[in-house]
Amino acid sequence: MRILMALVAALSVSATAAVAKDLDGGGGNPDTAAARAKFFGAENVNPFTGELRRDRVIFSWATNTTYAVSVKGRVFLLDSFVTRLEQTAGRTPFVIQDLVNLHPEVILLGHGHGDHADNAAFIAGSLKIPVVATPETCDVLQLDAARIFGAGTTLNCIGAVSRGSNPGAEVNKLDILQGAACVTAFKHVHSGRVAHDPTVPLVTVVNDQDARDGQMFPAGTPLFANPQTDYRTTGFGGPAGIISLFFQFVVPGGNRFTFVWHNTTGPLKESAFGPALFGIMDHLPKTDVELGSVVSLGYLTNGERDIVLYTQHIQPKIFIPGHMTAVALESSSLRWKVGFEQELKVMNASYRPEVRWMVDPDDYLRPLVYDPKDPRWAGGDRDTNSSCEQDED
């Protein structure tokens, strides 16, 4: 019996050591460890150091199109807006300090509207970390920083494309997340309403809220109710807010796990830039996961046609929808799921990704964990040699 107990103890220590070997980052701050456990799951975080598993890619939905992401133990934010960000946690199960305590190393903004860029200047300024955005949105974020932290305060804001450039004119490699991911960005088109496409039957999306939602999740006090904690972006992002970016991330080594993120989905079929943008998407290396907005300002005239067109050109193995809690009403997610499934049918879509639908608020902070070495990500119909030549850990 003693021998058996000793063997069990030895195996336990060995397993713990094996998990610890795959953890990295952090820095020993207990607040960081707690925040990372909240967002990424306690099973993926060292409770003493806040270090994250290096052998997994983890996405954590933080409302709308905002995600906390861990790649090789490196943490960053995709967008920074939070739906119903309140002074205490409520329907949204975290507060602004949790995002600061998460200690991301960079914030990437898909575009500068307030339902994407709110809080970016505060988080970046508090942590002295860079923001990646369009040059025009960087201008607005500098105004935000001066308002929040005082005159003369500036942010390290990196323009992902050239000022004033056309959508699709540049496909740029970004010098961020070196050693964790190769990052590519190009400008695309914001969602918008255009005339009904007569070649596609209209699928009506019922954008309504569950009548029980207010009773189940009573509204708290918004963070911005206190002027001292109003971290919303200036003028909802101003004229620059509509200028939109599409990001691709390739994880070096293994099977080159690749994901893309776009926090808006434009009517490219009617856009003069559409052919060039679809051409770029067609020639991207294989995509394993697409984090994409299913909600368009044009849903009343063309349903979810635009996101189906994006998926047909990107062809992800897995599609994860976003933007269900802004424009789309809170608790309306399943309405958009029905609309998406119907849109695939009426368009007779030839490509059908596996869909991992997200429903608020249950899927907030529910970590989606992927193993980059899973054989599922190997090969495919597209070229996997993406020029991502960083060393594998």
CB 155 within 8 A of CB 125: yes
Q: Which pLDDT value is given to residue 359?
A: 98
Q: Which pLDDT value is given to residue 363?
A: 98
Mean pLDDT in residue range 2-12 = 33
pLDDT digits (tens, 9 = 90+) for 128-177: 999 999 999 999 999 999 999 999 999 999 999 999 999 999 999 999 99
Q: Which of 227, 243, 219 is nearest to 139 (CA)?
A: 243
CB 221 within 8 A of CB 228: no
Phi, psi dihedrals of residue 68, rounded to the nearest 5°: -90, 135
Count of beta carbons in the 10 Å neighbourhood of residue 140: 25
Mean pLDDT in residue range 360-387 = 85
Stronger pLDDT, 383 or 2, i.e. the higher one: 383
Mean pLDDT in residue range 12-28 = 41
Q: Which pLDDT value is given to residue 388?
A: 72
Stronger pLDDT, 167 or 379, i.e. the higher one: 167
Beta bridge partners of 321: 292
* pLDDT tier for residue 350 given thresholds of 50, 70 and 90: very high
Stronger pLDDT, 41 or 253, i.e. the higher one: 41
**What percent of the chain stands above pLDDT 90?**
88
**What percent of the chain stands above pLDDT 70?**
90
CB 106 within 8 A of CB 76: yes
Q: Give yes or no for residue 339 having a pLDDT over 50.
A: yes
CB 102 within 8 A of CB 365: no
* pLDDT tier for residue 39 given thresholds of 50, 70 and 90: very high
User: What residue spans of the chain are helical by DSSP H?
Assistant: 2-21, 30-40, 96-101, 114-117, 120-127, 135-149, 213-216, 274-282, 299-302, 305-314, 333-346
Mean pLDDT in residue range 30-49 = 97
Q: Which pLDDT value is given to residue 254?
A: 84
Cα–Cα dist 281/266, whole Å: 13
Cα–Cα dist 354/376, whole Å: 13
pTM of this prediction?
0.92
Q: Give yes or no for residue 11 having a pLDDT over 80.
A: no
Cα–Cα dist 89/63, whole Å: 13
Mean pLDDT in residue range 194-221 = 97
CB 257 within 8 A of CB 372: yes
Q: What angle do CA 300, 117, 165 make, to 5 degrees?
A: 80
Q: Which pLDDT value is given to residue 114?
A: 98
* pLDDT tier for residue 379 given thresholds of 50, 70 and 90: confident
* pLDDT tier for residue 99 given thresholds of 50, 70 and 90: very high
**Which pair of structure tokens corresponds to residue 149?**
């932290």
Cα–Cα dist 224/263, whole Å: 23
C-alpha 184 chain-centroid distance: 15
Q: Which pLDDT value is given to residue 26?
A: 43
C-alpha 143 chain-centroid distance: 24
Phi, psi dihedrals of residue 319, rounded to the nearest 5°: -115, 130
Exposed e or buried b per residue across 208-237, where buried means at least 16 C-beta atoms within 10 angstroms of its C-beta: eebeebeeebeebeebeeeeeeebbbbeeb
Stronger pLDDT, 142 or 2, i.e. the higher one: 142
**Which pair of structure tokens corresponds to residue 67?**
């995600």
**Which pair of structure tokens corresponds to residue 147?**
């308002």
Looking at domain 22-221+229-372, its CATH architecture is 4-Layer Sandwich (3.60)
Compute and round to an integer the Cα radius of gyration of the chain.
21
* Helices and strands (H and E) in the chain: how many: 11, 16
Cα–Cα dist 241/29, whole Å: 35
Which strands form 67-71's sheet, in the order they lie side by side? 157-159, 131-133, 107-108, 74-78, 67-71, 57-61, 368-370
Q: Give yes or no for residue 23 having a pLDDT over 70.
A: no
Provide the 3-class DSSP secondary structure of residue 3. helix
Q: Which pLDDT value is given to residue 381?
A: 61
pLDDT digits (tens, 9 = 90+) for 243-256: 999 999 999 998 99
Mean pLDDT in residue range 216-224 = 97
- Give the residue extent of every domain in the chain: 22-221+229-372
Mean pLDDT in residue range 97-126 = 98
pLDDT digits (tens, 9 = 90+) for 184-195: 999 999 999 999
Q: Which pLDDT value is given to residue 64?
A: 98
What is the average pLDDT score of the chain? 92
Q: Give yes or no for residue 370 having a pLDDT over 90.
A: yes
